[in-house]
């Protein structure tokens, strides 16, 4: 009973902590594929009959979680991202608003890829596989900020929708055997590591200001 209580406390510590290992999530995601697309970079903007389009690249994607989720020491984005499994042949074209298109055409315009994908999602329209006849290509004059460290992608279909039984079993086994004990050890080591990490950041910050 005492061992069970200790195990439950350790599990609660990891689940509520800001730092934990999550390889079990990637094992579960290995059993899934997602159809989707990314905006083609550099941006390709087209117009036809008052409608505006950007080029997107269809891909097969897989969701990937950072192995270590740590908001204490790590400055990297802790959110999962979509990684490319396969790039499909050809491009597709997605509608965007005329307001966004005009911002992209201005030399003093500014936009982010993330905002662009949010607008594409809000349009609630499927991309087309070919442009309408008579479409014109336009030069992008605006500054478009890339999302460094992030994968800006839109998914349209997840296969299969639920994780197979074997995937759940392997993921659960990995959580118990690897993620849970490593997470406990890592959290116990945080107070020991903290002075060294903060001292290193302090020294690095001084060097950057020179």
Tell me the pLDDT band of 27, cut-offs 50, 70 and 90. very high
Whether the CB-CB separation of 186 and 22 falls below 8 Å is answered with no
Looking at residue 189, what is its pLDDT?
A: 86
Give the global pTM. 0.78
Looking at residue 148, what is its pLDDT?
A: 54
Tell me the pLDDT band of 118, cut-offs 50, 70 and 90. confident
Q: How far apart are the first and last CA of the chain?
A: 58
DSSP label of 178:
I
């Amino acid at each position: 009973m005492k061992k069970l209580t200790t195990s439950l406390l350790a599990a609660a510590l990891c689940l509520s902590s800001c730092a934990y290992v999550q390889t079990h999530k990637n094992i579960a995601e290995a059993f899934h594929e997602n159809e989707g697309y990314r905006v083609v970079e550099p941006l390709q903007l087209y117009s036809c009959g008052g409608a505006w389009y950007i080029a997107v690249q269809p891909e097969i994607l897989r969701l990937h979680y950072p192995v270590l989720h740590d908001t204490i020491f790590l400055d990297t984005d802790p959110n999962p991202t979509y990684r490319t499994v396969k790039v499909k042949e050809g491009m597709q074209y997605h509608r965007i608003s005329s307001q966004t298109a005009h911002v992209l055409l201005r030399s003093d315009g500014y936009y982010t890829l993330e905002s662009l994908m949010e607008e594409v999602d809000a349009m609630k329209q499927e991309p087309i596989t070919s442009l309408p006849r008579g479409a014109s290509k336009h030069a992008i004059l605006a500054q478009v900020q890339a999302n460094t460290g992030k994968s800006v992608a839109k998914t349209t279909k997840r296969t299969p929708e639920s994780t197979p039984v074997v995937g759940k079993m392997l993921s659960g086994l990995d959580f118990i055997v690897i993620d849970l004990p490593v997470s406990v050890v890592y959290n116990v080591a945080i107070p020991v590591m903290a002075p060294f990490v903060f001292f290193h950041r302090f020294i690095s910050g001084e060097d950057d200001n020179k």
